[in-house]
Chain A
């Protein structure tokens, strides 16, 4: 057996490392280790609830927009507050622009190169990192998206404009036009959603028609290269999916619905069934094992016997659940152009390719929705209602980060935070084993991934990246002879 240590999550030092055992050219076992702890759930206790959005958005410099929204939802829920419709629209646009940016960065700059000619000799030169025309066009367009975001966000990262009670500014006609112009520019680079079938024909026949959309040619090229690599046959998660859903609609529903999928059918989701386990995590045993809303602040116990991560292991009804765009598309019962069905053998099938396709499909859905949502903005519309701190209360925020479900739970006592719990998508997808030894979805998905060359475990990297961990990672590989290799991989999210 060859043991490969993979060190994803944070750049050179790596805040998440993954150990992979390989036998006969395939991964047999995987363990993820989160190696950074800050104690956010501890130092929030005793603070003004209105400060929670400021603090919790700093949990992640890539998911800042959604930690803020989820925290706001939790404290607004605790106060029994409903935000005005104008704020609902603005928050959707705020998150939608960021969501599109995040998917674009992932598909072109992080996952894309894995299937490029430069990295994998696929013939897909447009996605060659830092050199391919498609890659360079994406660099320009992602910048436009974050500028559009800053029009209502004030700045990025760490915007302060979604506030308790709504939003801190109602954009003028000029600002709405400014955002719209930038979004439409990006949209025309990407190409119309309806052009997808024609673009697939183009890519299959080696043609390129920028009139139909340069951006979409590259995304389709990426998906077909992944299919060619066999990414539909490995990276299989537990087959169970979980999504809080997000984007409030005027009728009270969600643009991406809430639910769980057990492999057969979609079921309603009840957050009362969410438990975080700490058996294999560096926390006292009393820190987990109960409904997350009742859990105490985690008590660190570094070096605890059998533990190997600072991440906790969230489970739904005792089971590991895969979260992310694929889960959301399944709950939406959506598979545009039957891409997942045709390329992965089923719209609800979990695989490395399935996750990539769902991300691309979701990017198109969001782009199309954004254009409509911008048209619905009314200059000068009421976007704020006064937020009064409740004397006491309990609130839950269930929402979605780009890379999967996020939850914040808050208890307020004497107008101060008495307890605060956060579950990130990374904990769901990339956490450690639980009290029953059940692996997390990524620990499970890595098993069976082919590794023909341990010096170049590209399919392992492709599978890690398919979960869209949100910080960059570094991969350290050790051979039995002690020789070290380091490979930088895609981002993975920091866990608290």
Chain B
């Protein structure tokens, strides 16, 4: 079998990224090295972002991948930060059609606003130009590029009449939950692909690298309704959570840090039941840890519009219709929607809204 044609995403979904990376890291490295040779032109742009997605990309990956990225540093504008020395090639990369375009950060809708500029060019103008030229895949890295994210947080008090957000920020093909965004609902690359969203705040390096390796090889990942690669975003955080057993027994932490390893965080505002991704299993920083396991309730950073839909974050979500609406709306498939509704019923049965059966202390 031609390993280059393997669908890294499906593999990742089937056996977990750690195993995939262990088994196929050589192929992934080779895939990334192809970018060096100039066969695949990869351009990474930053708009209204904080760079955490880039920092995340550089963390927690296996040495072979680091090596691959390291080699890319020397040769190509794979990512402007990880290039060393002179960067005339970086500017050149912006002048030629990319094969893969990665965007980090949101895009202000009004090109004349001055809210994000690149060398005097409005960020929107640059994104539209390069996306329109992209041969294979446009990838939105992180929640901001995917859905608008942090800069799109609503101006609740409508200060200075700046709405919906102060800079009217948008994602590439979604603005909040609405399909369209900067590039429009009908946008596809020359290969016929819509924008691939890899949200998270930040995104996970495995998701990004595996998707990039896949895209470089022209493998079309299966996407959910939010255009997220299904293998990474199909699992419900709550289903795979290490604390799930407590939920099932109706044992809930009443306070932050109240025996964090001995209770479910749902009543402290955990959005795990409304959030889809595999990080309960995959974990972060080279499989070191994940928010819930360190006592921190999930804030739902994989979901569109999470900043406004899930804020205030430390309050339990109690509105049942919304609860069910979110579950159904967030689901990538009918089966998942059903599971989501099942969780609501399950939560009710287990007495989420009443006092826990036991309270120590």
Q: Could you tell me if B79 and A129 are in contact, using CB atoms closer than 8 angstroms?
A: no
| Interchain CA distance A169-B54 in the complex, whole Å | 27
Q: Could you tell me if A147 and B286 are in contact, using CB atoms closer than 8 angstroms?
A: yes
**Does any Cβ of A come within 8 Å of B353's Cβ?**
no
Q: Could you tell me if A474 and B289 are in contact, using CB atoms closer than 8 angstroms?
A: no
**Residues of chain A lying within 8 A (CB to CB) of residue B159:** 42, 45, 297, 299
**Does any Cβ of B come within 8 Å of A452's Cβ?**
no
**Residues of chain A lying within 8 A (CB to CB) of residue B297:** 160
Contact with A along B291-328 (1 / 0, CB 8 A): 11111110101000001000111110000000000000
Q: Could you tell me if B53 and A384 are in contact, using CB atoms closer than 8 angstroms?
A: no
Q: Could you tell me if A12 and B44 are in contact, using CB atoms closer than 8 angstroms?
A: yes
Given contacts A61-B202, A119-B85, A150-B285, contact A472 B80 (CB under 8 A): yes
**Does any Cβ of B come within 8 Å of A238's Cβ?**
no
Partner of B296, one of A7, A143, A154: A154
Partner of A62, one of B55, B77, B166: B55
Q: Could you tell me if B256 and A36 are in contact, using CB atoms closer than 8 angstroms?
A: no
Q: Could you tell me if A158 and B52 are in contact, using CB atoms closer than 8 angstroms?
A: yes
Q: Which of A460-496 contact B (CB under 8 A)?
A: 471-472, 474, 476, 484-488, 491, 494
Q: Could you tell me if B52 and A486 are in contact, using CB atoms closer than 8 angstroms?
A: no
**Does any Cβ of B come within 8 Å of A337's Cβ?**
no
Q: Could you tell me if B85 and A54 are in contact, using CB atoms closer than 8 angstroms?
A: no
Chain A interface residue count, CB cutoff 8 Å, equals 80
Partner of A488, one of B52, B71, B87, B119: B87
Q: Could you tell me if A13 and B123 are in contact, using CB atoms closer than 8 angstroms?
A: yes
Give the Cβ gap from B101 to chain A, nearest Cβ, in Å: 12
**Does any Cβ of A come within 8 Å of B359's Cβ?**
no
| Interchain CA distance A158-B73 in the complex, whole Å | 25
Q: Could you tell me if B52 and A64 are in contact, using CB atoms closer than 8 angstroms?
A: yes
Q: Could you tell me if A13 and B156 are in contact, using CB atoms closer than 8 angstroms?
A: no
Q: Which of A363-416 contact B (CB under 8 A)?
A: 383-384, 386
Partner of A130, one of B70, B114, B296: B70
**Residues of chain B lying within 8 A (CB to CB) of residue A152:** 294
**Does any Cβ of B come within 8 Å of A170's Cβ?**
yes
**Chain A CB within 10 Å, residue with most, of B77, B115, B162:** B115
Q: Which of A212-252 contact B (CB under 8 A)?
A: none
Q: Could you tell me if B59 and A156 are in contact, using CB atoms closer than 8 angstroms?
A: yes
Given contacts A12-B44, A383-B257, contact A299 B160 (CB under 8 A): yes
**Residues of chain A lying within 8 A (CB to CB) of residue B93:** 12
Contact with A along B147-161 (1 / 0, CB 8 A): 000110111110110
Q: Could you tell me if B289 and A476 are in contact, using CB atoms closer than 8 angstroms?
A: no
Give the Cβ gap from B269 to chain A, nearest Cβ, in Å: 9
Give the Cβ gap from B309 to chain A, nearest Cβ, in Å: 13
Partner of B201, one of A58, A300, A302, A491: A58
| Interchain CA distance A159-B74 in the complex, whole Å | 31
Given contacts A35-B117, A36-B48, A297-B159, contact A169 B294 (CB under 8 A): yes
Q: Could you tell me if A50 and B51 are in contact, using CB atoms closer than 8 angstroms?
A: no
Q: Could you tell me if A157 and B167 are in contact, using CB atoms closer than 8 angstroms?
A: no
Q: Could you tell me if B312 and A48 are in contact, using CB atoms closer than 8 angstroms?
A: yes
Partner of A54, one of B55, B84, B285, B299: B299
**Does any Cβ of A come within 8 Å of B83's Cβ?**
yes
Q: Could you tell me if B156 and A46 are in contact, using CB atoms closer than 8 angstroms?
A: yes
**Does any Cβ of A come within 8 Å of B37's Cβ?**
no
Q: Could you tell me if A47 and B295 are in contact, using CB atoms closer than 8 angstroms?
A: no
Partner of A13, one of B126, B155, B299: B126
Contact with B along A288-327 (1 / 0, CB 8 A): 0000000001011011000000100000000000000000
Give the Cβ gap from A69 to chain B, nearest Cβ, in Å: 14
| Interchain CA distance A491-B155 in the complex, whole Å | 30
| Interchain CA distance A487-B55 in the complex, whole Å | 20
Give the Cβ gap from A447 to chain B, nearest Cβ, in Å: 24
Q: Could you tell me if B286 and A143 are in contact, using CB atoms closer than 8 angstroms?
A: yes
**Does any Cβ of A come within 8 Å of B211's Cβ?**
no
A-B contact pairs, 15 of them (CB 8 A): A12-B80, A13-B123, A36-B47, A36-B116, A45-B157, A54-B313, A118-B85, A151-B288, A154-B290, A154-B291, A157-B52, A168-B294, A383-B257, A474-B90, A486-B86
Q: Give chain B's interface residues, CB within 8 Å of chain A.
A: 44-56, 59-60, 66, 70-71, 73-74, 77, 79-81, 83-88, 90-91, 93-94, 113-119, 123, 126, 150-151, 153-157, 159-160, 162, 165-167, 169, 201-202, 255-258, 260-261, 283-286, 288-297, 299, 301, 307, 311-315
Q: Give chain A's interface residues, CB within 8 Å of chain B.
A: 7, 10-15, 17, 35-39, 42-43, 45-48, 50-51, 54-55, 58-62, 64, 113, 118-119, 129-130, 139, 143, 146-147, 149-161, 163-170, 282, 297, 299-300, 302-303, 310, 383-384, 386, 471-472, 474, 476, 484-488, 491, 494
Chain A to chain B: the 4 pairs with minimum beta-carbon distance, closest first? A39-B166, A61-B52, A13-B118, A154-B294
